Amino acid sequence: MMQARMDLDTKRKIKAACRPDEPVATDDPRHYDFDVPTRLRGLPWRSWLADEILMSSGSTAQLVTGLRGSGKTTELRQLEVALEEQGYEVIYADIGRWLNDREPITVSDLQLSLVLALFSAAMPEGASERVRELWRRVSNLLWADVTPAVGGGGPVSVQAGLEISDTVFQQASRRLREQDGLRKGVFDLIAERVKDGKTVLLLDGGEKRATGNLDADEVRAKFQNAWFAAFIHEGQGLRPPVHVIYTVPPFMIRRTSELAASFGSELRFLPMVRVFERSMKVSREGLEAMVEALALRVPMAYFEDAATPAWLAAHCGGYFRDLLRFINHMLHVVGERAQFSRADAEFAVEQVRQTYTQGLGLSLEERQILKQLYREKKLGEFPSDEKARVRMDVLLEGNKMFRYHNGRDWYAAHPLFRGLLELEPALTWAEAEGFGEDP
């Protein structure tokens, strides 16, 4: 029986279920698979990654990216489960805790993160004496001159390896970079650690660091070029004798062909859920999936009608984090009413729109680029001129533009910017009222 009002306990439960920044594990009842049975993000990201590992006789190195909040961590966790079911040892590590934003990324930073993830993750509990001895040897190689900074003589402890400071990390990274033969010695120890070839490293979180996103254009370009250089010019140093998957910043999508040729791996981009087709018309299948996913967190009985969640789903553009942001705003205005209304939904969408557009919002140049996505004969095609390409990462990382897949990729502006671009709204209430009815 529906409550007469939405009490504080109910609001707390909804808020706890709709935290926008919380990755959801595969065994969480809130988890929703947007790839099975429908493929609302093109060829399933994790299936490609898993197949590459399963079909390879040697070690592999793969690159993945996607917008912040698009579900990369959730996908990697699903991949972890799938590979473990195939008998692989899978080590997931958030390497962002070791990297810093003050200096451009280096190959040695990534190599050291890889080593810390591989050896620290297996200890202190349950590690064999062989693995412990290998860690001691790696530690002696990397921190021979700096151990006083992390607690005195002898090898760096496992705990120090996990909670190491930026300063000590950079000292070891510099040592790895400057001493001839040290990298080979470390890679030889890695090879000993993974003799059976059935270990996979999932290195997440690095894409959030050392990007220069908050700096001026010239400085940002320096940080971005360091990422490109690491994988394009020095990529062989990031292909250790173990399966490894790196998450990298979205701006690297601009040089996918060079990455494929030089690093030997195509960059896999996790797109948004396809709530629009390339024709820019709403995808009923995509909207239904978004509403079903939302229902795992907020029972549909808390909405006055079926049109409201469908309308919200269209306005988030397939970016589930924004859909959860809408719900959080609606909790503030529903008051003691039992259900969310259309007015609540409109308020929430406007609040999030203002968050995107306040301050600089969309520059004139960005508006011109986004409007080109809606050219009649080139719907969804990103402009090919160099001036537009330079702005691609700013549009993507600012969530001003989304990428979708369905056999091939295409782009669309975030639905919340449609008014600024003088375009029709993502979904009218009249159109949303047809949701839930037989097509």
The residue with greater pLDDT, 236 or 360, is: 236
Q: Are 229 and 108 in contact (CB under 8 A)?
A: no
Q: According to the model, what pLDDT value does residue 124 have?
A: 42
The helix (H) or strand (E) run that includes residue 16 is: helix 8-17
Question: By three-state DSSP, how is residue 63 classified?
Answer: strand
CA distances from 282 to 100, 278, 313, 411 (A): 41, 9, 10, 14
Tell me the residue type at 414: H
Residue with the two structure tokens 């001839």: 180
Domains in the chain, start-ordered, CATH in brackets? 1-27+272-439 (no CATH), 45-270 (3.40.50)
33-36 long-range contacts (CB < 8 A, ≥24 apart) are 33/78, 34/273, 34/289, 34/293
Question: By three-state DSSP, how is residue 292 classified?
Answer: helix
Q: According to the model, what pLDDT value does residue 376 have?
A: 79
90 Cβ partners below 8 Å, 6+ apart? 79, 80, 83, 84, 199, 200, 202
Q: Are 275 and 87 in contact (CB under 8 A)?
A: no
Minimum mean pLDDT range among 124-138, 185-199, 239-253: 124-138
Q: According to the model, what pLDDT value does residue 43 have?
A: 83
Minimum mean pLDDT range among 19-28, 206-215, 343-352: 206-215
Q: According to the model, what pLDDT value does residue 158 have?
A: 41
Q: Are 95 and 113 in contact (CB under 8 A)?
A: yes
